[in-house]
């Protein structure tokens, strides 16, 4: 191990702390990292004027106080080198190994993310943040420690920078620390963020808190002493401490309940730390015998831990001093987990993780988010899901067999079904809550027992998205609905490519497998279905793909005339749309244009835009109506009628008698004698449209009828 001489005081302090729980050879790795980092950052200073290397050392000190492993401490010291110095990831790998290099690289990528506000956060960066956390939680521990030291030293920044950093601290990093169960770090991030975002509010609340605590110091001391005496009498092995509520927690309570400061009274709490779980419940009984508990203010987070692994008993008592007494009761192990959360797993001599540990729960949460993002194509949609998971208010409900399921506070019976399994949710027919049949949109409450009855014929419906509250349910429903559209687009894309290959004397099945694999790899596609989907949506052109698969040099001679039009039945779903400029209906002569944003769009041959389409022959597709079409098709009709009272009602009656529905109606012009009405009607085909127009012409109020477009 290197001699300490020459190391600055912060490094000596870090070394001394590490020596209390790490082996000497691991401490030596950390000191070697300082030497490398110090050389790399040579000449760089922070805005405070101090050498830049002292910032990474301070970050490492924060992690050392959490008793993190030597790889995390080493990566913390090197975390800014890849971005801000000539040092490369390969060089770090060579000197410190791949694990430390991956940690440094992971933190570097997080450092490059620029968040604005919780609402306007960079969604793609947030996705990367969550994925980086899922690979190695230590990446986010280092980033949180980095953020904590930054907010501790904000005084050298401009007011605008302080507010920006404070906002993203409150909106992004403090909630992540909370979700990982790292309460100590969460509280400091919140208070420092609050102090810099709203300095006047922070100062005012802090001054009031200090004044109030001073006035109540004797009362607080008396309550503390009474608790100690009672616990000793009951032979409860424990230690008792008091703590003042943070300024930010007081501020949030004032906002949430719309209370003035004078009415927020429970801002002093006591913590009873015992030796075993049984002692916790014994201590609870003793506390309740000392002061009367407030009804409905008891929470058992030991039997029902929070999703971040937090365990404790919470109760609020009425003291004889008119001061509510909040008490938290937990074991030493629970206290460590409450302070350090998921980071406690990396402590020296950690041992095995239990299934309920914060680290396991945090990883399960992150794995759920990873599963969500796999089925979410939109980064903004993923961010919405992630935020709903970051800011949960939880409820606990039971399956008929007694298994506990934790959900968001506003979760419905359908959310419960998806929490059991995606297939259960997708086929939910009926929900029974405490043996009573309820709508799937019913909001659940704590302690209820929920039974789900499924039916294989039931499928997710778009209206389900209007009431589900959990990310898992929303993602599963959207994924199912998108998969239906995907099936439509795959079929259409296959038809487009088949048609283009037929024109070159070949077919999809005739393409050799090795040529398929080469083409897919060259275009970064995993499957043929992905190609067909892109073709249907216009992202790729069928003629271009066909030319790549069957170059001119290998065209089969004499077969280039094998070509059929693609048939349109009206049942293609989102894979096919109909031009709003001409509104084609079955029976019209049609063509299609492959749009880059809408996919295959069907137009009438005499559409006013047809000339523009023909300028891009590679995007024009021959199509024809199928012998049997399905559904109703929109058509625009202009009616010139006599301007008399009730004329619109009479014309509407004629349209209804012809079996058509009115989608929209507008009156672009009118005079004392006539009124021009524009109808968007729905018809089955061209013959049906003709019947509607004949019926209108027989109406005595109608002067003229013609189709628009």
- The CATH number of the domain holding residue 56 is 1.10.3210.10
Contact indicator for 178, 220 with CB cutoff of 8 Å: no
User: Cβ–Cβ contacts within 10 Å for residue 9, how many?
Assistant: 8
What is d(CA 224, CA 347) in angstroms, rounded to the nearest whole number? 32
| pLDDT of 36 | 93
| pLDDT of 556 | 45
Q: Write the CB contacts of 304 (distance below 8 Å, at least 6 apart in sequence).
A: 396, 404, 406
Residue 433 has pLDDT above 60, yes or no: yes
The token duo for 532 is 């067909």
Residue 351 has pLDDT above 70, yes or no: no
Region 468-476 average pLDDT: 82
DSSP string, 385-403: HHHHHHS--EEEEE-TT--
Is residue 1 included in any domain, yes or no?
A: no
Contact indicator for 124, 384 with CB cutoff of 8 Å: no
Contact indicator for 599, 543 with CB cutoff of 8 Å: no
Is residue 240 included in any domain, yes or no?
A: yes
Contact indicator for 667, 651 with CB cutoff of 8 Å: no
| 639 DSSP β-pair partners | 677, 705
Q: Where do we find the tokens 């419940």?
A: 281
10 Å CB burial of residue 672 (0-12, 13-18, 19+) is: exposed
CA-to-CA separations, 149 to 49, 113, 154, 165, in angstroms, rounded: 15, 18, 9, 12
Please tell me whether residues 498 and 530 are part of one structural domain.
yes
Region 663-680 average pLDDT: 82
pTM over 0.85: no
Q: Where do we find the tokens 């680290």?
A: 359
Which residues span the domain enclosing 569? 481-625
Q: Highest mean pLDDT range out of 20-34, 454-468, 481-495, 655-669?
A: 20-34
Query: Within a 13 Å sphere around the CA of 485, how many CA atoms are in the beta-carbon half?
Result: 15
What is d(CA 368, CA 362) in angstroms, rounded to the nearest whole number? 10
Region 246-272 average pLDDT: 75
Is residue 524 included in any domain, yes or no?
A: yes
Residue 429 has pLDDT above 70, yes or no: yes
Region 467-480 average pLDDT: 81
- Poorest-pLDDT segment among 64-68, 201-205, 362-366, 517-521: 362-366
**Strand 599-604 to strand 576-578: parallel, antiparallel, or no bridges (unpaired)?**
parallel
Please tell me whether residues 32 and 169 are part of one structural domain.
yes
| pLDDT of 92 | 92
- Poorest-pLDDT segment among 7-11, 357-361, 602-606, 699-703: 357-361
The token duo for 510 is 């005739």
> Could you tell me which of 420, 306, 299 has the C-alpha nearest to residue 358?
306
Region 57-61 average pLDDT: 94
Is residue 546 included in any domain, yes or no?
A: yes
Q: How confident is the prediction for the chain on average, in pLDDT?
A: 80
Secondary structure tally for the chain: helices H, strands E: 27, 21
| pLDDT of 572 | 62
Is residue 409 included in any domain, yes or no?
A: yes
Is residue 295 included in any domain, yes or no?
A: yes
Report H helices in 234-276: 247-257
Q: Highest mean pLDDT range out of 65-69, 663-667, 692-696?
A: 692-696
At residue 6 the predicted structure's pLDDT band, cuts being 50, 70 and 90, is confident
Region 627-640 average pLDDT: 87
Please tell me whether residues 473 and 488 are part of one structural domain.
no
Calculate what percentage of the chain has a pLDDT beyond 70.
80
The domain spanning residue 668 has which CATH number? 3.30.70.260
Please tell me whether residues 81 and 41 are part of one structural domain.
yes
| pLDDT of 121 | 44
| pLDDT of 5 | 52
| pLDDT of 348 | 39
Higher pLDDT, 288 or 213: 288
Report H helices in 136-244: 138-152, 159-168, 174-179, 183-197, 199-233
For 591-612, write each residue's pLDDT tens digit.
888 776 566 789 998 888 888 8
For 87-132, write each residue's pLDDT tens digit.
988 999 999 999 899 888 878 765 555 554 444 444 555 555 566 5
Contact indicator for 589, 566 with CB cutoff of 8 Å: no
The token duo for 403 is 């298994």
Last residue of a domain, one of 297, 321, 346: 346
What is d(CA 263, CA 587) in angstroms, rounded to the nearest whole number? 74
> Could you tell me which of 409, 348, 262, 317 has the C-alpha nearest to residue 63?
348
| pLDDT of 376 | 54
The domain spanning residue 419 has which CATH number? 3.10.20.30
| pLDDT of 574 | 58
Residue 341 CA, chain-centre distance (Å), reads 22
The token duo for 636 is 């625009």
Is residue 639 included in any domain, yes or no?
A: yes
At residue 354 the predicted structure's pLDDT band, cuts being 50, 70 and 90, is very low
The token duo for 282 is 């014994």
Q: Highest mean pLDDT range out of 399-408, 469-478, 638-647?
A: 638-647
Contact indicator for 289, 320 with CB cutoff of 8 Å: no
Q: Highest mean pLDDT range out of 321-325, 340-344, 477-481, 601-605?
A: 601-605
| pLDDT of 272 | 93
Region 204-215 average pLDDT: 76
Please tell me whether residues 181 and 244 are part of one structural domain.
no
The token duo for 244 is 């003042």
Contact indicator for 564, 626 with CB cutoff of 8 Å: no
406 SS3 class: strand
- Poorest-pLDDT segment among 282-286, 449-453, 670-674: 670-674
What is d(CA 404, CA 125) in angstroms, rounded to the nearest whole number? 34
Please tell me whether residues 180 and 299 are part of one structural domain.
no
| 676 DSSP β-pair partners | 640, 669
Please tell me whether residues 58 and 159 are part of one structural domain.
yes
The residues annotated as belonging to the active site are 83-84
- Poorest-pLDDT segment among 35-39, 362-366, 409-413: 362-366
* Torsional sign, CA 536, 541, 542, 546: negative
Higher pLDDT, 27 or 497: 27
CA-to-CA separations, 414 to 392, 447, 644, in angstroms, rounded: 18, 17, 53
| pLDDT of 248 | 85
Last residue of a domain, one of 319, 346, 373: 346
Higher pLDDT, 466 or 133: 466
> Could you tell me which of 195, 316, 218, 200 has the C-alpha nearest to residue 267?
316
DSSP designation for 137: T
Q: Where do we find the tokens 């409860």?
A: 236
Phi-psi label, residue 267: left if phi above 0, alpha if psi -120 to 50, beta otherwise: alpha
For 391-402, write each residue's pLDDT tens digit.
455 677 888 887
Please tell me whether residues 508 and 581 are part of one structural domain.
yes
Q: Where do we find the tokens 């460590």?
A: 336
Which phi and psi angles does 326 have, rounded to 5°? -95, 130
Contact indicator for 180, 340 with CB cutoff of 8 Å: no
Please give the torsion angle defined by the CA atoms of residues 37, 38, 42 and 44, in that order, rounded to the nearest 10 degrees: 80
What is d(CA 336, CA 359) in angstroms, rounded to the nearest whole number? 13
What is d(CA 86, CA 107) in angstroms, rounded to the nearest whole number? 17
- Poorest-pLDDT segment among 195-209, 281-295, 478-492: 478-492
Q: Where do we find the tokens 């959360």?
A: 341
What is d(CA 547, CA 508) in angstroms, rounded to the nearest whole number? 13
What is d(CA 441, CA 54) in angstroms, rounded to the nearest whole number? 55
Please tell me whether residues 247 and 337 are part of one structural domain.
yes
Residue 417 has pLDDT above 90, yes or no: yes
**Strand 268-274 to strand 324-331: parallel, antiparallel, or no bridges (unpaired)?**
parallel
Please tell me whether residues 100 and 132 are part of one structural domain.
yes
What is d(CA 499, CA 329) in angstroms, rounded to the nearest whole number? 72
Q: How many domains does the chain have?
A: 5
The token duo for 416 is 């419960």
| pLDDT of 578 | 85
Please tell me whether residues 690 and 592 are part of one structural domain.
no
> Could you tell me which of 546, 537, 539 has the C-alpha nearest to residue 500?
546
At residue 298 the predicted structure's pLDDT band, cuts being 50, 70 and 90, is confident
> Could you tell me which of 397, 414, 443 has the C-alpha nearest to residue 304?
397
Is residue 593 included in any domain, yes or no?
A: yes
Residue 543 has pLDDT above 80, yes or no: no
> Could you tell me which of 551, 497, 562, 571 has the C-alpha nearest to residue 528?
497
The domain spanning residue 265 has which CATH number? 3.30.460.10
What is d(CA 481, CA 422) in angstroms, rounded to the nearest whole number? 13
**Strand 428-433 to strand 436-438: parallel, antiparallel, or no bridges (unpaired)?**
antiparallel
Please tell me whether residues 77 and 222 are part of one structural domain.
no
Please give the torsion angle defined by the CA atoms of residues 194, 164, 185 and 326, in that order, rounded to the nearest 10 degrees: 20
Last residue of a domain, one of 346, 371, 386: 346
> Could you tell me which of 472, 458, 356, 371 has the C-alpha nearest to residue 412?
472
């Amino acid at each position: 191990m290197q001699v300490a001489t020459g190391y600055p005081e912060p490094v000596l302090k870090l070394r001394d702390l590490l020596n209390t729980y790490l082996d000497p050879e691991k401490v030596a790795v950390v000191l070697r990292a300082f030497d490398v980092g110090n050389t790399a950052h040579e000449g760089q200073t922070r805005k405070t004027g101090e050498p830049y290397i002292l910032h990474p050392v301070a970050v490492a000190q924060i992690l050392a106080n959490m008793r993190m492993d030597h790889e995390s401490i080493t990566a913390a010291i090197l975390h800014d080198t890849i971005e801000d110095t000539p040092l490369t990831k390969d060089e770090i790998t060579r000197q410190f190994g791949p694990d430390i290099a991956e940690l440094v690289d992971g933190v570097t990528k997080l450092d490059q993310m620029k968040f604005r506000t919780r609402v306007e956060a960079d969604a793609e960066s947030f996705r990367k943040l969550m994925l980086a956390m899922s690979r190695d939680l230590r990446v986010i521990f280092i980033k949180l420690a980095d953020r904590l030291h930054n907010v501790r030293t904000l005084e050298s920044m401009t007011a605008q920078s302080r507010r920006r950093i404070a906002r993203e601290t409150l909106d992004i990093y403090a909630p992540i620390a909370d979700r990982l169960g790292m309460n100590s770090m969460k509280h400091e991030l919140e208070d420092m963020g609050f102090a810099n975002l709203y300095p006047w509010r922070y100062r005012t609340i802090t001054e009031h808190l200090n004044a109030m605590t001073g006035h109540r110091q004797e009362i607080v001391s008396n309550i503390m002493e009474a608790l100690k005496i009672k616990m000793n009498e009951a032979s409860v092995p424990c230690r008792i401490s008091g703590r003042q509520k943070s300024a930010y927690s007081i501020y949030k309570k004032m906002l949430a309940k719309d209370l003035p400061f004078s009415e927020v009274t429970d801002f002093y709490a006591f913590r009873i730390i015992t030796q075993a779980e049984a002692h916790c419940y014994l201590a609870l009984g003793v506390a309740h015998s000392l002061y009367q508990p407030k009804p409905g203010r008891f929470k058992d987070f030991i039997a029902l831990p929070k999703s971040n692994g937090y365990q404790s008993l919470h109760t609020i008592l009425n003291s004889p001093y008119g001061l509510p007494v909040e008490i938290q009761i937990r074991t030493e192990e629970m206290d460590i987990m409450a302070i350090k959360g998921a980071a406690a797993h990396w402590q020296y001599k950690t041992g095995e993780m239990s299934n309920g540990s914060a680290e396991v729960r945090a990883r399960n949460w992150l794995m759920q988010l990873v599963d969500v993002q796999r089925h979410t194509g939109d980064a903004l949609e993923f961010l919405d899901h992630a935020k709903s998971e970051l800011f949960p208010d939880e409820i606990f409900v039971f399956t008929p067999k007694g298994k506990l399921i934790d959900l968001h506070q506003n979760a419905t019976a359908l959310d419960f079904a998806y929490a059991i399994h995606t297939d259960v949710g997708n086929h939910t027919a009926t929900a029974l809550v405490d043996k009573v049949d309820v709508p799937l949109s019913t909001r659940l409450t704590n302690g209820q027992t929920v039974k789900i009855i499924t039916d294989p014929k039931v499928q997710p419906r778009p209206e389900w998205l209007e009431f589900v509250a959990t990310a898992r349910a929303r993602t599963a429903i959207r994924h199912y609905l998108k998969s239906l559209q995907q099936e439509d687009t795959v079929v259409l894309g296959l038809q487009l490519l088949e048609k283009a290959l037929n024109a070159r004397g070949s077919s999809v099945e005739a393409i050799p497998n090795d040529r398929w694999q080469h083409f897919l790899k060259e275009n970064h596609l995993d499957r043929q279905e992905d190609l067909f989907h892109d073709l249907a949506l216009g992202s790729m052109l069928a003629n271009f793909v066909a030319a790549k698969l069957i170059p001119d040099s290998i065209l089969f001679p004499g077969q280039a005339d094998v070509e059929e039009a693609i048939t349109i039945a009206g049942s293609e779903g989102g894979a096919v749309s109909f031009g709003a400029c001409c509104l084609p209906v079955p029976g019209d002569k049609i063509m299609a244009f492959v749009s880059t944003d809408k996919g295959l769009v069907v137009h009438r041959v005499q559409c006013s835009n047809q000339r523009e389409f023909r300028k891009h022959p590679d995007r024009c597709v021959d199509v024809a109506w199928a012998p049997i079409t399905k559904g109703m098709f929109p058509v625009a009709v202009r009616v010139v009628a006599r301007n008399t009272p009730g004329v619109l009602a009479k014309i509407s009656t004629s349209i209804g008698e012809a079996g058509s529905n009115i989608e929209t109606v507008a009156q672009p012009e009118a005079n004392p004698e006539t009124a021009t009405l524009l109808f968007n009607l729905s018809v089955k085909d061209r013959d049906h449209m003709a019947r509607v127009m004949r019926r209108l012409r027989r109406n005595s109020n109608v002067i003229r009828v013609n189709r628009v477009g």
